[in-house]
Amino acid sequence: MKASFDVEAIHYDSHFTYTSIGKAQRAMVYHHLQKHLTNPLTILEINCGTGEDAIWLARQHHTVCATDISEKMIEVAKEKGSHPSLSFIQADIRAVSNHFNAKDFDLVFSNFGGLNCLSPDEMDRFLKTTDTVLSANGKLILTLMPEGTLWEKLYFLLKGQFSKISRRKTAAVATLGEEKVITYYYNPKEIVNLSKDKFNTIEVKPIGFFIPPSYLEPFFKNKKLFFKVLTRLDSLFKNLSFLAKYSDHYLIVLEKK
């Protein structure tokens, strides 16, 4: 896993962050995230990638410790920007509770499917131990990829690749730029059930029900009006939680019990 992200580090922003789809989906995440950032917080970001979210959070007057398993991702993040209240650390998501066991973060945040690299056993362990690094009433906010993305089903249907229509039902090899990463998909209900001993579920929101997955960026590159309509539709239906499991991603907010 680390090697794949190291190779992709220098290309990640051009493949996702700075694309129309990447910008639109990130704007939706920030819209939902903003209401949970009412006071200056101490935030631990997991799988920070090239630091786009960490830099944004630091500029919102929060103290941010951003982590990633990839040394190259951390290098790119440090080159992108610095801030007095921002630090970058190379750390494995599977050892977060051990690495930060003496910390009290107000928020643990992971964006755009970073946790989808965890197997079911690893996800279960993560959700049952992450509360130890959170302060009282601290929040765990995750953006994940679900199993039932309708865009993906339609895409493979139109391409006649019927065997891939339900590929998210099991672990699948996902494309990250030019790299391949084993990916596991979790519907909101699974995360709620796995986390219920340690967390209360506050809300679940769709991210990209109308806005398509990033691998369709080439198709939409010259269809700006169509894409604008899809973005507007996502904005109109952004609070319909039942759409979450059919979207490209979804945001789930959990609060420590």
pLDDT in tens, 220-236: 999 999 999 999 999 99
203 vs 103: which has the higher pLDDT: 203
Radius of gyration for the chain, computed over Cα atoms and rounded to the nearest angstrom = 17
pLDDT > 90: percent of the chain:
82
* DSSP-derived pairing of the beta strands 249-256 and 199-207: antiparallel
Beta bridge partners of 253: 141, 203
Tally of structural domains, the chain? 1
Q: For position 170, what pLDDT does the model report?
A: 84
Write the Ramachandran bin of 88: left for phi over 0, alpha for psi from -120 to 50, otherwise beta.
Answer: beta
Strands (DSSP E) along 115-198, which ranges?
134-144, 172-176, 179-183
Beta bridge partners of 144: 250
pLDDT in tens, 185-241: 999 999 999 999 999 999 999 999 999 999 999 999 999 999 999 999 999 999 999
Tokens 């690299």 belong to residue? 117
Q: Does pLDDT of 248 surpass 90?
A: yes
Q: Which residues lie below 8 Å from residue 213, measured CB to CB, with a gap of 6+?
A: 21, 149, 151, 152, 155, 248
Q: Are 64 and 92 in contact (CB under 8 A)?
A: no
What CATH number should be reported for the domain holding residue 238?
3.40.50.150
Domain range for residue 105?
A: 2-256
Residue 167: C-alpha distances to residues 26, 135, 171, 219, 222 (Å): 25, 38, 8, 22, 29
Mean pLDDT of the chain: 93
Residue 36: C-alpha distances to residues 119, 137, 252 (Å): 28, 12, 12
Largest CA distance in the chain: 52
